[in-house]
């Protein structure tokens, strides 16, 4: 399927094609489909997708796989997601605490840049912020196979259950977009639109955060997308999360094109 907009992608300084990003998403879609099959079994999957089997989904085009995964996650619901990933979330919680303690304040950044010609940075940022405000869970989850649950909480924070980068387990954390004091991601003064917040566990332990920066330049949206991790995280996982950022934000920008595209 052809994208309705052009998206140029840079993982750090490495220019990658849209086809490469979709290929990464396809590999992750296959991995997540197989996880559903292993965790839920044939009958469980049939309850979520009565007219669609995992085998059919694995042979389907990426866009069909994306729809199938989103439908399964939605049908499973929050409690079902927690139950399916119970062991993963317990392991990742412990690993996050160890990572923060052993990093001793050091941090690493996953940085991805996107350029979208004929597209408005402000309109996209407004659309993106609205996802949490309006609790548009389907739009948030559908952006990449590694999203299991994203929702806005009554206190204004965002709950995230996802596989971060190349991690073998899914993790759960909260993002507080009203606090940035623990972030060490530099603010680029040339990017006037900022979406930033701290990532934390339920007891308030800060485990990282995000600073996504946007600007318009000669009719092109430029996005500087950055996630902060504990400094002891392996470089391979940092690099894999660059792909994660490229995938989710490309799909969000495509979804927002009806309101953000300028041509």
pLDDT tens digits for range 50-88: 888 888 999 999 999 999 999 999 999 999 999 999 999
103, pLDDT greater than 80 = yes
pLDDT of residue 166: 79
Q: Could you tell me which of 115, 142, 150 has the C-alpha nearest to residue 255?
A: 142
Quick check: 180 and 197 in contact, CB under 8 A? yes
Quick: pLDDT tens for 175-211.
Answer: 999 999 999 999 999 999 999 999 999 999 999 999 9
2, pLDDT greater than 80 = no
Quick: pLDDT tens for 153-175.
Answer: 999 899 999 999 778 999 999 99
pLDDT of residue 74: 96
1, pLDDT greater than 70 = no
Q: What gap in Å lies between CA 215 and CA 122, rounded to an integer?
A: 8
How long, in residues, is the chain?
263
pLDDT of residue 196: 97
The arrangement of strands across the sheet holding 107-117 comes to 14-16, 8-11, 107-117, 220-230, 206-217, 193-200, 171-176, 158-162, 147-152
Question: How much of the chain exceeds pLDDT 90, in percent?
Answer: 89
Question: How much of the chain exceeds pLDDT 70, in percent?
Answer: 100
Give Cβ neighbours of residue 4 (< 8 Å, ≥ 6 apart). 254, 257, 261
Give me the helices (H) in the chain, please. 18-48, 54-59, 62-84, 86-103, 121-133, 137-141, 235-255, 257-260
The domain ranges of the chain are 8-18+90-260
Ramachandran region, residue 234 (left: φ > 0; alpha: ψ -120 to 50; beta: rest): beta
Two structure tokens written together for 15: 């220019």
* Superfamily (CATH H level) for 8-18+90-260: START domain (3.30.530.20)
Quick: pLDDT tens for 11-53.
Answer: 988 999 999 999 999 999 999 999 999 999 989 999 998 888 8
* Whole-structure pTM value: 0.96
Q: How many CA atoms are closer than 13 Å to the CA of 173, on its beta-carbon side? A: 28
pLDDT of residue 65: 95
pLDDT of residue 133: 86
């Amino acid at each position: 399927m052809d994208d309705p907009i052009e998206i140029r992608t840079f993982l750090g300084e490495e220019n990658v094609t849209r086809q490469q990003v979709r290929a990464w998403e396809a590999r992750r879609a296959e991995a997540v489909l197989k996880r559903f099959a292993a965790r839920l079994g044939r009958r469980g999957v049939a309850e979520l997708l009565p007219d669609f089997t995992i085998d059919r989904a694995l042979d389907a085009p990426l866009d069909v796989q994306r729809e199938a995964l989103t439908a399964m996650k939605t049908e499973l619901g929050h409690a079902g997601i927690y139950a399916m990933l119970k062991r993963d979330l317990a392991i990742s919680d412990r690993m996050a605490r160890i990572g923060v303690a052993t990093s001793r304040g050091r941090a690493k950044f996953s940085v991805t840049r996107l350029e979208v010609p004929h597209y408005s940075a402000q309109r996209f940022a407004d659309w993106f912020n609205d996802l949490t405000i309006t609790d548009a869970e389907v739009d948030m989850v559908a952006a990449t196979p590694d999203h299991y649950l994203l929702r806005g909480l009554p206190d204004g924070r965002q709950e995230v259950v996802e596989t971060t980068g190349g991690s073998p387990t899914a993790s759960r954390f909260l993002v507080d977009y009203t606090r940035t004091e623990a972030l060490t991601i530099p603010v680029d003064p040339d990017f006037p639109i900022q979406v930033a917040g701290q990532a934390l566990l339920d007891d308030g332990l800060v485990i990282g955060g995000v600073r996504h920066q946007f600007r318009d330049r000669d009719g092109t949206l430029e996005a500087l997308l950055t996630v902060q991790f504990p400094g002891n995280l392996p470089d391979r996982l940092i690099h894999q999360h660059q792909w994660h950022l490229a995938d989710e934000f490309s799909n969000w920008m495509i979804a927002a094109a009806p309101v953000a595209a300028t041509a």
